[in-house]
Structure 1
Amino acid sequence: MGALARASSRDAPRAALAQAVTQARGGLGRQLLHRNRASLKSQFVQFAEVFPLKEFGFTPEPGRYLEVVGWVEVVAGLLLAFGPQLLQEISNFILSVIMIGAIYTLLALREPLAMCAPATLCLGLLLLLNIRGHVAPTKPKFE
């Protein structure tokens, strides 16, 4: 019993340190998430001003716009990665439309072209994935 008490007393500082690091990382993560969310909200206020459907009388509320775009991207991304073929094609199309909208929004806001690079790269990869997914079937050698 004495050996067990000594072992647990030696591991106590390690456990306390591990718990402190875990809590610090969680707190830091929450702070960064909160800060990034505030920054994204302010950006989506600008994005809502140049929303493509604004010409037809539909202007989204920036907070709701942020949530909808975020959830659509997450769900479509998961379906693209892990879904069946049909859902992968649908999610590829949805993500492509979102990337085209992102490029349009940045150009409408007259942001530098470098700001369009991530969305353009993602759109290019989605289109490449779409093209690569439609390979013509090969004919059997025995015909």
Structure 2
Amino acid sequence: MAAAFRALRVLLGLFFLLAGSVKLSERLSADSHRHMQEQFVRFAEVFPLRDFGFSPSPGPYLTAVGAVEAAAGLLLAFGPQLLQEISNFVLSVVMIGA
């Protein structure tokens, strides 16, 4: 059973690493990267903290989310136990915001 959980953890980590990489660079898929850029223009308009005066620019917002997803995915897949738990929390927060 431990092997199944390990495989699931690695697959999910690699999924988030891929999702973050698509947001960071157009090398993997130019169409997907362009689509993400268009979507983050819309996401920046409905950013939850906008009511408090904080409104991010779409470009840096896309980069920040992509970097967090890629780093947390990498740690989830291959990091030590403590960092895996932290990355679980971080990815949960990112997904709640999605």
TM-score normalized with structure 2 length: 0.68
Gaps of 5+ in 1: 1-28, 103-143
Task: Report 1 or 2 for greater relative contact order, CA contacts < 8 Å, sequence distance ≥ 6.
Answer: 2
Amino acid at match of 1:61: S
Query: How many residues are aligned here?
Result: 73
Equivalent-residue separation in structure 1 for 2:40 and 2:64 (angstroms): 11
Q: Alpha carbon RMSD of aligned pairs, Å?
A: 1.6
The percent of aligned pairs where both chains have the same amino acid is 67
1:26 is aligned to none
Q: 1:43 aligns with which of 30, 39, 44?
A: 39
2:69 is aligned to 73
1:90 is aligned to 86
Structure number with greater Rg is: 1
Structure 1 outlier segments of 4+, above 4 Å = none
1:112 is aligned to none
- 1:61 corresponds to 2:64: no
The DSSP-based 3-state class of the residue aligned with 1:60 is: coil
Q: 1:33 aligns with which of 29, 34, 49?
A: 29
Gaps of 5+ in 2: 1-25
